[in-house]
């Protein structure tokens, strides 16, 4: 593309609007353009989605798909929630972004709303899930040095094998997934890795220098791995006994995904810090936060941490609308009820390739036996109008919007059965 062509493109967008430029692209053109000009840090399914509403999405030919990826729990309210979209549109007419050098009413309501919804005392808004995790790491380390008395530079954070907390260089440094680490070192020290769901190993790893234990209550990216009953509560007790902060990464499991507001609530295991994100953005934009104890968040002083867009007025209003809709529509109850129906129905499928089905609420994993052609199965799901991708351990994740009804669950089962039949 030469300079004249580029200038013409910008001029057309300015004069005729961006929608026309987008809608002129065919599905094939969009996929080829992405592959040519975009970094290959994803391997998308061969489908170009041009429209979405509720739990359904459509490609350029009009073919319908049930979105069981759900943007990894970020589209919990369904695509284009009318309430959230209206709140965003109204805010777009007023103010969208202003420096954190000043106060805003939207930011004030956001931090108050986050504390009310989570039962926590203070909140630090950010944008992406990885930023929330990085924020929690910084809070835990500074708390260890300034409050607990750990010698400077010696703080340790315990994490679990097969974790997924994001993709920054610090975070991938304590991943056990080799691809996430390959080519990106040297890595930040100060992390101890223990087996997930092994309370004995976790207790043995705690030292006087341990600042925090950071875990996902359910390892979603790891293959929807659910710890045994009592584990979450045992982790809470161990952290309390040893004066160690407990950080729950609820970025994927939070906001009603597992049938509770947060997955730690399946047991009596409150965290000292919670990392939040994904569904908090209402399917509209990235919004994340760390919430927790006042005495921990108050270790931050002006200049310690920040984000240009963190807590911006538009994001704040979207997040408030997202929490309001969760509460008023009782999405926890629907997630629990529809999740139970989905789990029971998937377990009733009689296909030889199914090894296990597990889940809580509307976070469900279907694991197939080793030797199953998972690429062919992913293609079969797509052909049958189901968007889902393999996580680790040959597990296909089902995390549809929390608004789905019985008819949608039954349709997911029918299409899933057809896809499994195609590869069995």
Give me the pLDDT at residue 104, please: 98
Quick one: what percent of the chain has pLDDT higher than 90?
A: 94
Distance CA 377, CA 397 (A): 13
In 279-306, which positions are buried (b, 16+ CB within 10 angstroms) versus exposed (e)? Answer: bbbbbbbbbbbbbbbeebbebbeeeebe
Give me the pLDDT at residue 15, please: 85
Distance CA 218, CA 227 (A): 7
Give me the pLDDT at residue 138, please: 98
| Average pLDDT value over all residues in the chain | 96
Q: Three-state DSSP class for 417?
A: helix
The percent of the chain in helix, strand and coil, each rounded to the nearest 5, is 45, 15, 40
Give me the pLDDT at residue 86, please: 98
Class of domain 83-328: alpha beta
pLDDT in tens, 118-160: 999 999 999 999 999 999 999 999 999 999 999 999 999 999 9
Q: Per-residue confidence at 4, pLDDT binned at 50, 70, 90?
A: low
User: pLDDT at residue 6 above 80?
Assistant: no
What are phi and psi for residue 7, nearest 5 degrees? -60, -40
| 45-74+331-423: CATH topology | 3.90.1150
Comparing 91 with 393, the larger pLDDT belongs to: 91
Catalytic residue (choose from 278, 300, 309, 396): 278
Catalytic residue (choose from 67, 142, 162, 164): 164
> Does the active-site annotation cover 309?
no
What are phi and psi for residue 70, nearest 5 degrees? 60, 30
Give me the pLDDT at residue 9, please: 79
Distance CA 385, CA 136 (A): 39
Cβ neighbours for 15, distance < 8 A, ≥ 6 positions apart: none
> Does the active-site annotation cover 53?
no
Give me the pLDDT at residue 393, please: 84
User: pLDDT at residue 283 above 90?
Assistant: yes
User: pLDDT at residue 48 above 60?
Assistant: yes
Give me the pLDDT at residue 33, please: 96
Distance CA 220, CA 252 (A): 7
> Does the active-site annotation cover 344?
no
pLDDT in tens, 368-387: 999 999 999 999 999 999 99
Q: Which residues pair with 214 in a beta bridge?
A: 247
Give me the pLDDT at residue 10, please: 87
User: pLDDT at residue 394 above 90?
Assistant: yes
CA-wise closest residue to 344 among 334, 358, 355: 358
- CATH 3.90.1150.10 location in the chain: 45-74+331-423
Query: CA angle, 335 as apex, 376 and 46 as ends, to 5°?
Result: 25
Cβ neighbours for 170, distance < 8 A, ≥ 6 positions apart: 134, 137, 187, 188
- CATH 3.40.640.10 location in the chain: 83-328
Question: Would strands 386-387 and 363-368 be described as parallel, antiparallel, or unpaired?
Answer: unpaired
Give me the pLDDT at residue 5, please: 61
User: pLDDT at residue 2 above 70?
Assistant: no
Distance CA 158, CA 351 (A): 39
Task: Provide mean pLDDT across the span 153-172.
Answer: 98
pLDDT in tens, 321-355: 999 999 999 999 999 999 999 999 999 999 999 99
Task: Provide mean pLDDT across the span 393-400.
Answer: 96
- Structural contact between residues 67 and 45, judged by C-beta atoms closer than 8 angstroms: no
User: pLDDT at residue 207 above 60?
Assistant: yes
Task: Provide mean pLDDT across the span 78-84.
Answer: 98
- Structural contact between residues 295 and 120, judged by C-beta atoms closer than 8 angstroms: no
CA-wise closest residue to 290 among 134, 165, 146, 132: 132
Catalytic residue (choose from 67, 162, 196, 249): 249
């Amino acid at each position: 593309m030469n300079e004249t062509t580029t200038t013409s493109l910008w001029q057309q967008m300015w004069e005729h609007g961006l929608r026309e430029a987008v809608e002129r692209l065919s599905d094939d053109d969009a996929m080829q353009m992405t592959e040519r000009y975009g970094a290959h840090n994803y391997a998308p399914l061969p489908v170009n989605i041009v429209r979405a509403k509720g739990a359904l999405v459509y490609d350029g030919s009009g073919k319908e798909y049930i979105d069981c990826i759900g943007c990894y729990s970020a589209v919990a309210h369904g695509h284009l929630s009318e309430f959230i979209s209206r709140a965003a549109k109204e805010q777009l007419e007023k103010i969208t972004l202003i420096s954190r050098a000043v106060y805003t009413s939207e930011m004030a309501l956001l931090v108050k709303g986050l504390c009310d919804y989570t039962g926590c005392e203070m909140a630090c808004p950010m944008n992406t899930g990885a930023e929330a995790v990085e924020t929690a790491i910084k809070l835990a380390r500074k708390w260890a040095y300034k409050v607990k008395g750990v010698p400077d530079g010696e703080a340790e954070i315990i994490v679990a094998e097969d974790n997924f907390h994001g993709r920054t260089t610090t975070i991938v440094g304590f991943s056990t997934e080799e691809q996430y680490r390959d080519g990106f070192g040297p890595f930040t020290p100060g992390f101890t890795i223990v087996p997930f769901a092994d309370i004995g190993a976790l207790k043995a790893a705690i030292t006087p220098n341990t600042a925090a234990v950071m875990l996902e209550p359910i390892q979603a990216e790891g293959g929807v791995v659910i710890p045994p009953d009592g584990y979450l509560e045992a982790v809470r007790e161990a952290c309390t006994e040893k004066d160690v902060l407990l950080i729950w990464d609820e970025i994927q499991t939070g906001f009603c995904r597992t049938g509770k507001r947060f997955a730690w609530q399946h047991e009596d295991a409150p965290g000292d810090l919670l990392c939040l994100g994904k569904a908090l953005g209402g399917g509209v934009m990235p919004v994340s936060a760390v919430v927790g104890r006042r005495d921990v968040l108050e270790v931050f002083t002006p200049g310690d941490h920040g984000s240009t867009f963190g807590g911006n007025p538009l994001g704040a209003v979207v997040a408030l609308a997202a929490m309001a809709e969760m509460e008023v529509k009782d999405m926890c109850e629907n997630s629990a009820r529809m999740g139970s129906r989905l789990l029971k129905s998937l377990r009733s499928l009689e296909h030889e390739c199914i090894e296990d089905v597990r889940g809580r609420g509307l976070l469900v994993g279907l694991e197939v036996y080793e030797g199953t052609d998972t690429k062919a199965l992913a293609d079969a799901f797509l052909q049958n109008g189901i968007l889902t991708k393999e996580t680790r351990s040959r597990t296909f994740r089902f995390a549809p919007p929390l608004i789905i009804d019985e008819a949608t669950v039954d349709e997911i089962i029918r299409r899933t059965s057809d896809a499994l039949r195609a590869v069995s």
